[in-house]
Amino acid sequence: MSLPDFQRNYFQLFDLPVDYALDLVQLGTRYRQLQRELHPDRYAGASAHEQRLAVQYSALINEAYATLRKPLPRALYLLELAGMSRENIAGQQIDGGFLMAQMELREKLESMEGLIAPESVLDHLVTEISEDITVLQRQFSQAYSVGDLSPAASTCVKMQYLDKLLQEAEQIESRLLDR
Amino acid sequence: MALLHIAEPGQSPLPHQVKRAVGIDLGTTNSLVATVRGGRSAVLPDESGEVMLPSVVNYTHAGTPLVGAGALALAAQHPADTLMSVKRFMGRGSKDALSDAQRSHYRLAAGDEGLVRFITGSGELSPVEVSADILRILRQRAVATLGGEIDGAVITVPAYFDEAQRQATKDAATLAGLRVLRLLNEPTAAAVAYGLDSSEQGVIAVYDLGGGTFDISILRLHKGVFEVLATGGDTALGGDDLDAALADWVLQQSGAPVLAAGQYRQLQAAARAAKERLSTELAVAVDLTGVLPSGGSIRVTRETFESLVRPLVKRTLRSCRRCLRDAQLEAGIDNIVMVGGSTRIPLVREAVAEFFQRAPLIDIDPDQVVALGAAIQADILVGNRPEGDLLLLDVIPLSLGIETMGGLVEKIVPRNTTIPVSRAQEFTTFKDGQTALALHIVQGEREMVSDCRSLAHFELRGIPPMVAGAARIRVTFQVDADGLLNVAAREEITGAQASVTVKPSFGLSDDQITSMLQASFSHAVEDKLARQLAEQRLAAWQLLEGLKSALAADGDALLNVEERGVIAAQMTGLQALLDGTDADAIRLQTERLGRQSETFATRRMDRSIREALAGVALDALDDEVMQ
């Protein structure tokens, strides 16, 4: 059988301009509109072939939506569209100052479970990381808009670091809730 | 001159034939069946007017399983032959089901392949077969009420059910002779039941405390599209546990020694009755005459009961908190839907209201709401509402991953990803000259394979010998709209391929199902051949009808004369065969026509995308006006 052949990129799929700045309301509206047409539930009485196609189209739309909806995957996708490979992005130089700050944050996180009242400390830390991410998003947007791909890629790598920290913070939070 | 028939694009000009579709809530304690009639969803009662069928089956006498209230009445007398709460055993390995089985006083067979099998008066039975016996009764009830065979059913499952549990549920329905349109998550079904006549937009939390499981889901409703944002829960916490907590307390108060199986069953039933009465009364007496040797009665206040179950209610709120975080909401919850009989308990309602800072919705009977929602979805899927006024976008409840070096899990599809989904990841070989790669698929949130649920093992062979790290093996996970998984692996350089539909080792194989189906059909009066012919005719008819309306709508635009001629010829051929009785010929011609029309189908899908986007402009305008 034929696979869904999308020459269009994810932005074109939703009929949106290829840009980091994105109208999320519009994205959501178009996402739902496409799923209304192509979700497998619309083909429950159709032939097996049409049902398989619907699963593939619908999965692709879900993937495109998940990629564009969140800032970090959207930024990475833009770099990919601009011709940067994953290896190329991962190999970007990161300044020593950032790495030092990283290690400090990580140490703070790791010592969290020994504290008597860790919740407020953790909250504070999460806010701090989130603010850093917002700053990086702005930096990415500026670099990308003038075509400075290499600095744009290095802000992406930094965002990946911080994203990972946030995930770890969430895991610690859920362990704290459970005890 | 004849008048022209004008039909809406995509709609058949033929008079609309209403199909019989049902929604089934296959519950731990009770099961229900519902259908949409005259535009309204309603549960179907049995001859005596009861809508709830206790999910209990008695197998004391070989050959005639007794299902429902009659079986429940035999529970104390024949504890090991009377299977209750089998939903707890669906899709589970005998090792992890052991403690549950001991508590229920079931005898488990020393299962092959880790399969749970109960030893009963009618021989060894799997949870799938027991569930099929329950579903068969509901199917018979629906057939009798609706006056004909059921065209399709939507069966509900807890959102938190893993792959194995879903597959087992689908197998049970197939075994009961039902055509499964979709497995639907219970909380989503409940939201649908409420969603149709409540506000058009907003965020809904569904708190579902069932007999054996707890589920929490958070959904966004937007113009008929239900988007599940996050789901969570606890597969081993439910109303049964509340009963057990009270029963254990009563036992402790009475000072009675360890009870026999039948006595414990009676005590549990007494505890359940007391629990239900405590929702409206402040104190009740649990009558122990005939339950305990000592007899007498023990007084329980609502306060005591609340202190006993408070830790369990707290556990549900922990799941709620995690789910809320997963949903990443900007604003609060607009509505809370309550599902399951245990949500009648005042303490539960208060705790939920306090947690979400909002009074929960209780207008629809919490025992019926899931079946009612499932019936609405069944009505849509079977094609009774051509304009399909709602769409459900569900998620997978648990992350799917693959075992990598050192027993670690590499997550490929994280939990709460919207389905259907297709994700690929590349792996490589770690030894020079390695020609095969074993893949182990797991489900769960933990980092170690040993802490996750093992779903399947399969092997990719025929990798050409290369240095370590040179091969590029692409593993694709595809989860369909039922939440069922398909995995394919492919070596990119040589094209070597392997794939599995994940059938957990403790489920039933297709062969087993086929043989069971044949066994059950041979008991049935209906002639197997006649059935096959009827099925083939139906499939052919559906394809022809679908194609006719598709051709009427898009035939001119999407096909050239030659292509259209080929399809038309094959259609005429199939139409002619329909008058005959050759089931095989009908099947072959249906398949041929299906293949011939694949290109047309693909073009129609592409066109749908373009049209969907063209429609967006107007829709976006609506949004702006509304804001």
The CATH number of whichever domain residue A121 belongs to comes to 1.20.1280.20
Q: How high is the pLDDT of residue B146?
A: 93
Please tell me which residue of chain A has the smallest CA distance to B325: A170
Q: How high is the pLDDT of residue B506?
A: 37
pLDDT at B4 over 70: no
Of residues B213, B503, B484, B448, the one with CA closest to residue B339? B213
Q: Which residue has the higher pLDDT, B537 or A133?
A: A133
Contacts of A174 in chain B (CB under 8 A): 322
- B410-417 LR contacts (CB < 8 Å, sep 24+): B412/B475, B412/B477, B413/B477, B413/B479, B415/B326, B415/B445, B416/B228, B416/B229, B416/B230, B416/B231, B416/B326, B417/A62, B417/A66
Residues A99 and A161 grouped into a single domain:
yes
Please tell me which residue of chain A has the smallest CA distance to B539: A47
Cβ of B423 and A63 within 8 Å?
yes
Please tell me which residue of chain A has the smallest CA distance to B184: A41
Contacts of A28 in chain B (CB under 8 A): 222
Residues A98 and A163 grouped into a single domain:
yes
* B529 token code pair: 């051949």
How many angstroms away from the CA of B72 is the closest CA of chain A?
37
Contacts of A178 in chain B (CB under 8 A): 318
Residues 42-81 of chain A with CB under 8 A from chain B are 42, 44-50, 53-60, 62-63, 65-66
- What is the pLDDT averaged over residues B356-365? 91
Q: Give all strands (DSSP E) within B40-140, no chain letters.
A: 40-43, 53-54, 56-58, 66-67, 82-84, 118-120, 123-125
Q: Which fold would CATH assign to domain B525-607?
A: Substrate Binding Domain Of Dnak; Chain:A; Domain 2 (1.20.1270)
Residues A55 and A97 grouped into a single domain:
no
Question: Model ipTM?
Answer: 0.84
Q: Which is it for the CA torsion B263, B265, B268, B273, positive or negative? A: negative
Judged by a CB distance cut-off of 8 A, whether residue A119 touches chain B is no
Residues A96 and A170 grouped into a single domain:
yes
Q: Which residue has the higher pLDDT, B613 or A134?
A: A134
In the annotation, is B186 catalytic?
A: yes
Rounded CA gap, B74 and B80, in Å? 10
Of residues B453, B457, B459, the one with CA closest to residue B489? B459
A-B CB pairs within 8 A amount to: 125
Residue A1 lies in a domain: no
Strands B21-26 and B152-157: parallel
Contacts of A45 in chain B (CB under 8 A): 381-383, 542, 546
Least confident window among A124-128, B216-220, B255-259, B482-486? B255-259
User: Element (H or E) spanning B213, and its range?
Assistant: none
Contacts of A66 in chain B (CB under 8 A): 417-418
Rounded CA gap, B483 and A71, in Å? 27
Q: What is the pLDDT of residues A29-38, one digit of tens each?
A: 999 989 988 8
Rounded CA gap, B134 and B593, in Å? 38
pLDDT grade for B399, boundaries at 50, 70 and 90: confident
Cβ of A39 and B393 within 8 Å?
yes
% of chain B residues with pLDDT over 70: 84
Q: Write down the residue that tokens 């459900």 correspond to.
A: B392
Cβ of B380 and A178 within 8 Å?
no
The CATH H-level superfamily of B400-510 is: Substrate Binding Domain Of DNAk; Chain A, domain 1 (2.60.34.10)
Cβ of A46 and B620 within 8 Å?
no
Name the catalytic one among B81, B87, B129, B133: B87
The whole domain housing A14 covers 10-69
Strands B437-443 and B453-460: antiparallel
Residues A54 and A14 grouped into a single domain:
yes
Residue A81 lies in a domain: no
Residues A63 and A126 grouped into a single domain:
no
Name the catalytic one among B46, B100, B171, B208: B208
Q: What is the pLDDT of residues B407-444, one digit of tens each?
A: 888 889 988 899 999 998 888 887 888 888 788 888 88
Cβ of B609 and A34 within 8 Å?
yes
Of residues B341, B22, B333, B377, the one with CA closest to residue B192? B377
Mean pLDDT of chain B: 82
Residue A26 is nearest to which of B321, B392, B620, comparing CB atoms? Answer: B620
**Residue A98 identity:** F
Residues A58 and A100 grouped into a single domain:
no
Residue A58 is nearest to which of B420, B597, B598, comparing CB atoms? Answer: B420
Q: What is the pLDDT of residues B49-94, one digit of tens each?
A: 999 999 999 998 877 799 999 998 888 788 888 998 899 888 877 6
Please tell me which residue of chain B has the smallest CA distance to A65: B418
Residues 7-46 of chain A with CB under 8 A from chain B are 13-15, 25-26, 28-30, 32-42, 44-46
In the annotation, is B275 catalytic?
A: no
How many angstroms away from the CA of B609 is the closest CA of chain A?
6
Rounded CA gap, A166 and A131, in Å? 12
Contacts of B619 in chain A (CB under 8 A): 29, 33
In the annotation, is B87 catalytic?
A: yes
Q: What is the pLDDT of residues B473-528, one digit of tens each?
A: 888 888 888 888 888 888 777 777 666 555 443 344 445 444 444 444 444 434 45
pLDDT at B3 over 60: no
Of residues B201, B352, B265, B334, the one with CA closest to residue B73? B265
Residue A108 lies in a domain: yes
Rounded CA gap, B485 and A59, in Å? 13
Cβ of B594 and A33 within 8 Å?
no
pLDDT at B5 over 50: no
To probe the interface with B, which of A16, A22, A33, A130 has the most B CB atoms within 10 Å? A33
The answer to whether the CB of B214 falls within 8 A of the CB of B208 is yes
How many angstroms away from the CA of A35 is the closest CA of chain B?
8
Rounded CA gap, B141 and B608, in Å? 40
The CATH number of whichever domain residue A16 belongs to comes to 1.10.287.110
Cβ of B182 and A41 within 8 Å?
yes
Q: Which residue has the higher pLDDT, B362 or B67?
A: B67
Q: How high is the pLDDT of residue B139?
A: 96
Rounded CA gap, B132 and B455, in Å? 23
Least confident window among A17-21, A77-81, B4-8, B575-579? B4-8
Cβ of B478 and A59 within 8 Å?
yes
pLDDT at B1 over 70: no
Of residues B492, B581, B594, the one with CA closest to residue B537? B581
- What is the pLDDT averaged over residues B115-135? 87
Classify domain B239-309 by CATH architecture.
Alpha-Beta Complex (3.90)
Residue B612 is nearest to which of A37, A47, A173, comparing CB atoms? Answer: A37
CA angle B26, B30, B32 (to 5 degrees): 60
Q: How high is the pLDDT of residue B581?
A: 81
* B167 token code pair: 């597959």
The answer to whether the CB of B476 falls within 8 A of the CB of B422 is yes
To probe the interface with B, which of A47, A164, A167, A176 has the most B CB atoms within 10 Å? A47
Compute the radius of gyration of chain A from its Cα atoms.
20
- What is the pLDDT averaged over residues B205-234? 89
Question: CA A128 → CA A102, A117, B432, distances in Å?
Answer: 12, 18, 46
Residues A96 and A174 grouped into a single domain:
yes
Q: How high is the pLDDT of residue B15?
A: 42
Q: Which residue has the higher pLDDT, B258 or B523?
A: B258
In the annotation, is B170 catalytic?
A: no
Omega within 30 of 0 (cis) for the link into A118: no
**Residue A135 identity:** V
% of chain B residues with pLDDT over 90: 30
Of residues B239, B193, B212, B213, the one with CA closest to residue B345? B239
Judged by a CB distance cut-off of 8 A, whether residue A177 touches chain B is yes
Contacts of B381 in chain A (CB under 8 A): 41, 44-45
Q: Which is it for the CA torsion B103, B109, B114, B116, positive or negative? A: negative
Q: Give all strands (DSSP E) within B9-151, no chain letters.
A: 21-26, 30-37, 40-43, 53-54, 56-58, 66-67, 82-84, 118-120, 123-125
Domain count, chain A: 2
Contacts of B612 in chain A (CB under 8 A): 33-34, 36-38
Q: How high is the pLDDT of residue B172?
A: 92
pLDDT grade for B336, boundaries at 50, 70 and 90: very high
Rounded CA gap, A79 and A73, in Å? 10
pLDDT grade for B379, boundaries at 50, 70 and 90: very high
Q: How high is the pLDDT of residue B614?
A: 66
How many angstroms away from the CA of A101 is the closest CA of chain B?
26
Name the catalytic one among B163, B186, B240, B403: B186
CA angle A93, A94, A95 (to 5 degrees): 120
pLDDT at B317 over 90: yes
Residues A120 and A147 grouped into a single domain:
yes
Residue A142 lies in a domain: yes
pLDDT at B616 over 70: no
Q: Which of these CATH numbers, 3.30.420.40, 3.40.50.360, 1.20.120.530, 3.30.460.10, describes B21-191+368-385?
A: 3.30.420.40
Question: In sequence order, what DSSP letters do the residues of B333-397 get, joined into one string?
Answer: -SEEEEESGGGGSHHHHHHHHHHHTSPPB-SS-TTTHHHHHHHHHHHHHTTS-TT---EEE-B-S
Residues A94 and A168 grouped into a single domain:
yes
* B171 token code pair: 């197998």
- Determine the 3-state secondary structure of B593 from DSSP: helix
Residue A2 lies in a domain: no
Cβ neighbours of B108 (radius 10 Å): 18
Residue B300: burial class (beta carbons within 10 Å; 0-12, 13-18, 19+): buried
User: Element (H or E) spanning B6, and its range?
Assistant: none
Residues A65 and A93 grouped into a single domain:
no
Residues 6+ apart with CB under 8 A from A55: A40, B420, B478, B480, B481
Q: Can you give the residue ranges of every domain in chain B?
A: 21-191+368-385, 239-309, 400-510, 525-607
* B88 token code pair: 């707890």
Q: How high is the pLDDT of residue A122?
A: 85
The answer to whether the CB of B390 falls within 8 A of the CB of B380 is yes
Residue A62 is nearest to which of B222, B421, B594, comparing CB atoms? Answer: B421
Spell out, as residue ranges, where chain A has pLDDT lower than 70. 1-7, 177-179
Residues B397-433 as b/e (b if ≥16 CB within 10 A, e otherwise) read bbbbbbbeeeeebebbbebbbbbbbbbeeebebeeee
Residues A56 and A112 grouped into a single domain:
no
Rounded CA gap, B11 and B554, in Å? 12
How many angstroms away from the CA of A164 is the closest CA of chain B?
14
pLDDT at B2 over 50: no
Rounded CA gap, B229 and B333, in Å? 12
Contacts of B543 in chain A (CB under 8 A): 47
The answer to whether the CB of A64 falls within 8 A of the CB of B423 is no
Rounded CA gap, A18 and A74, in Å? 10
Judged by a CB distance cut-off of 8 A, whether residue A144 touches chain B is no
Rounded CA gap, B234 and B316, in Å? 8
